[in-house]
Amino acid sequence: MMTAATILSFLLPLAGTVMLAFSGERLGPRGSTFIGVGSVGLAALATAWALLAYSGASQGVTLWTWVAVGDFQPTMGLTVDRLSLLMMAVITGVGFLIHLFAAWYMAGEAGITRFYAWMNLFVFSMLTLVLADNLLLLFLGWEGVGLCSYGLIGYYYQHEANNWAAFKAFIVTRIGDVFLALGMFLIFVELGTLDIGQVLEQAPRVWAEGSTTANIAALLILGGALGKSAQVPLHTWLPDAMAGPTPVSALIHAATMVTAGVYLIARLNGLFLLAPDVLLLVGVIGAVSLLLAAFAALAQTDIKRVLAYSTMSQIGYMFVALGVGAFDAAIFHLTTHAFFKALLFLSAGSVIISCHHEQEMDKLGGLWRKLPVAYAGFIVGGAALVALPLISAGFFSKDEILWQAMAADQTGLLIAGLLGAVLTGLYTVRLILGTFHGEPGSDHARHPEPGRNPFTHHLPLIVLAVLSTFLGAWLYPGLGELFPAAPGETSDTSHTLLQVLATGAVIAGLALAGWLFVMRRQWLHSIAGKGAGARCWALLNRAWGFDALFKWGLVRPWQWLVRGLRFDFINRGMNLLALIARAGNAGLVRTQNGRVRTYACVMVLGVTVILISLVLTSGGGR
């Protein structure tokens, strides 16, 4: 029963894609929306059915053998266990709410059919990614979500900037994907299988802990995870990806796809435990990313870019959790983050549509009375983002991460996490104040048109808001027994101490924010406006200049290379042969000049040469 429900849940979005893709615009906006939202809704129902039918044991189903040549036998096989069921629930559940909201958000846009075809294909690919029982099928989902992300970031295809943002997102993540592919090659050669279960079983037998090969394999997989999950240094695509419609940002670039890297590392936990150094590196990269992104979020003016950097920062927390071996905590935060970040993005989408596609904070402001639903969404989502103690979902998951870091004696990671909590408070307050309070910055903000549809606008926001409170944290089933023991389970470090620290960090952040953005507003403004302050602002606004680094380090040299080779110098080289033939022709043509005198001369010359050579050779013979 459960396998049937599982298969149904991932085939339904695919069916939706096929119907939409081959409808040839015959369906019209209403029909497309109906199919696009409906298929994911049904998939969510099928997932609920699978959850109900779940017996507690992991189940596998092999649809067919993909390829069978010698030992190379990847299958089209799915595994359902608690982790994949949880991911399925998040993908289809949150996915459905976002699809529903998109029905409101996208109303009146051209190309609705294309939008839903991509969105459904995305849900299908993401489900394949989490259900795959072998790495090659996982890679199918992995690349599939990347392609859908490309198609949706470039949804408004007439704007050059959007297309290049989509292009950049695809290429940067593809660089990560190549590392993942190399990791697969290595794993297959060394372990002789791609089946995830068997890989985890075989790895400890073949590789000693800390052996070079294990380290390399883990590093390569980490490379893949960094690209998809937008962690330093492969993170530059995420802020630009905000060019897509806001529901896309909510679904792909906040709730699901960007957390695929976290899922991958958690799924292959046994492999990373064999490479402790790489696992620690995961944590360090997470800490660096969370701080870098949190600082960058402080200096953005576009509300979606603030949320993008905040996503990167929160995924950094998940990586920290992975890095200290607390896989359960990482997945916990993944789940709550899916709820509250989706809520924040959808609320932002509500603001953006209400204000006629205005998303610059300078031009917004003073909206809290006029857009109460979106405001409520921002407050609840923001509370979860800053991890407001006890009442928000984010508190429980982030607290778990910090506690595990503390229990693992990773003081550096713990401090980074606490500092990140302060910064999160700062940028969240700045975001909410800048959007909803103060004076409206433009006519659009003065006369917004609030969303009124109770079903497609209010319902998703309300459900997500409820999930972003402590209720959402309670829903999390806990996957402890699926993973190796987390450091917290064996440690006697005081949890209370950590809770006090974390609460202190949150309150410090909020208080500092209140002081800076409310009391010392003018002072802050003047500092950021000139001199060192302005330079600092610019640096943070450009997120530490990674884009420039890549531009001059990679993109420009590549362009020079392309330009330099454009005319195919090797081919030109081959043309030399033709030139030589022509030159020879030109030379010999001269001998055919029709003058008897020349001919006679040449003839005499020739005869002489022949005679001389004859004399010389025969003379040598005797």
Among 4, 30, 62, 72, binds other proteins (CB under 8 A): 72
Structure tokens at 110: 């051209």
Mapping DSSP to helix (H, G, I), strand (E, B) and coil, where does residue 195 land?
strand
- Facing residues of 78 across strands? 61, 132
Q: x/- string (CB under 8 A) for other proteins, residues 130-159?
A: ------x--xx-xxx--x--xx--x--xx-
Residue 216 CB, nearest distance to other proteins (Å)? 11
Contact between 21 and other proteins per CB under 8 A: yes
- Selected range binding other proteins among 51-59, 180-188, 330-338, 424-432, rule: CB under 8 A: 180-188
Residue whose CB is less far from other proteins, 49 or 188: 188
Return the H-helix or E-strand segment holding 80: strand 75-80
Contact between 208 and other proteins per CB under 8 A: no
Q: How far is CA 146 from CA 106, 122, 156, 173, 252, in A?
A: 22, 9, 17, 7, 9
Contact between 576 and other proteins per CB under 8 A: no
Contact between 561 and other proteins per CB under 8 A: yes
Residue whose CB is less far from other proteins, 117 or 279: 117
Contact between 583 and other proteins per CB under 8 A: no
Structure tokens at 407: 């229990």
Contact between 492 and other proteins per CB under 8 A: no
Residue whose CB is less far from other proteins, 228 or 337: 228
Residue 224 CB, nearest distance to other proteins (Å)? 12
Among 1, 4, 52, 68, binds other proteins (CB under 8 A): 68
Contact between 565 and other proteins per CB under 8 A: yes
Q: What is the 3-state secondary structure (H, E, C) of 320-371?
A: HHHHCCCHHHHHHHHHHHHHHHHHHHHHHHHHHHHCCCCCEHHHCCCCCCCC
CA-CA distance, 222 to 422, in Å (whole number)? 28
Among 164, 470, 537, 544, binds other proteins (CB under 8 A): 164
Residue whose CB is less far from other proteins, 126 or 510: 126
| Nearest CA among 86, 101, 83 for reference residue 40 | 101
| Nearest CA among 117, 186, 129 for reference residue 155 | 117
Place of tokens 């996915």: 95
Contact between 391 and other proteins per CB under 8 A: no
- Selected range binding other proteins among 179-187, 255-263, 340-348, 390-398, rule: CB under 8 A: 179-187
Contact 300, 309 (CB under 8 A): yes
Residue 411 CB, nearest distance to other proteins (Å)? 37
CA 198 to chain centroid, in Å, comes to 27
- Selected range binding other proteins among 328-336, 396-404, 558-566, 584-592, rule: CB under 8 A: 558-566
Q: What number of chain residues touch other proteins (CB under 8 A)?
A: 55
Contact between 183 and other proteins per CB under 8 A: no
Q: x/- string (CB under 8 A) for other proteins, residues 75-104?
A: -x----------------------------
Q: CA angle 310-315-316, nearest 5°?
A: 95
CA-CA distance, 436 to 499, in Å (whole number)? 31
Q: Which residues fall within 8 angstroms of residue 388, CB to CB, at 6 or more apart?
A: 394, 395, 506
Alpha helix stretches (DSSP H) within 241-299: 246-250, 260-267, 269-273, 276-298
Contact between 536 and other proteins per CB under 8 A: no
Within 599-618, which residues bind other proteins (CB under 8 A)? none
Place of tokens 């103690």: 389
CA 74 to chain centroid, in Å, comes to 26
Q: x/- string (CB under 8 A) for other proteins, residues 341-370?
A: ------------------------------
Mapping DSSP to helix (H, G, I), strand (E, B) and coil, where does residue 339 land?
helix
Among 27, 43, 83, 181, binds other proteins (CB under 8 A): 181
- Tell me the residue type at 360: E
- Selected range binding other proteins among 160-168, 260-268, 490-498, 533-541, rule: CB under 8 A: 160-168
Q: Which residues fall within 8 angstroms of residue 449, CB to CB, at 6 or more apart?
A: 353, 354, 356
Residue whose CB is less far from other proteins, 238 or 364: 238
Q: CA angle 438-440-442, nearest 5°?
A: 155
**Greatest Cα pair distance in the chain:** 119
Q: How far is CA 555 from CA 115, 162, 247, 332, 475, in A?
A: 30, 18, 30, 38, 45
- Selected range binding other proteins among 168-176, 198-206, 347-355, 521-529, rule: CB under 8 A: 168-176
- Selected range binding other proteins among 27-35, 185-193, 288-296, 297-305, rule: CB under 8 A: 185-193
Residue 533 CB, nearest distance to other proteins (Å)? 38
Residue 426 CB, nearest distance to other proteins (Å)? 37
Contact between 66 and other proteins per CB under 8 A: yes
Among 56, 531, 573, 619, binds other proteins (CB under 8 A): 573
Q: Which residues fall within 8 angstroms of residue 98, CB to CB, at 6 or more apart?
A: 247, 250, 251, 255, 342, 346, 460
Residue 13 CB, nearest distance to other proteins (Å)? 14
Among 211, 212, 575, 598, binds other proteins (CB under 8 A): 575
Neighbours of 545 (CB within 10 A): 12
Residue whose CB is less far from other proteins, 454 or 557: 557
Among 1, 52, 110, 610, binds other proteins (CB under 8 A): 110
| Nearest CA among 97, 514, 38, 517 for reference residue 347 | 97
Structure tokens at 68: 């069978």
Residue whose CB is less far from other proteins, 138 or 506: 138
Cis bond leading into 450, ω under 30°? Answer: no
Residue 345 CB, nearest distance to other proteins (Å)? 24
| Nearest CA among 240, 82, 259 for reference residue 161 | 240
Place of tokens 């709550």: 336
Among 205, 357, 369, 563, binds other proteins (CB under 8 A): 563
Residue 94 CB, nearest distance to other proteins (Å)? 25
CA-CA distance, 103 to 413, in Å (whole number)? 41
Residue 285 CB, nearest distance to other proteins (Å)? 21
Contact footprint for other proteins (CB under 8 A):
21, 24-25, 64-70, 72, 76, 110-111, 114, 136, 139-140, 142-144, 147, 150-151, 154, 157-158, 160, 163-164, 167, 170-171, 174-175, 177-178, 181-182, 184-186, 188-189, 561-563, 565-566, 568, 570-571, 573-575
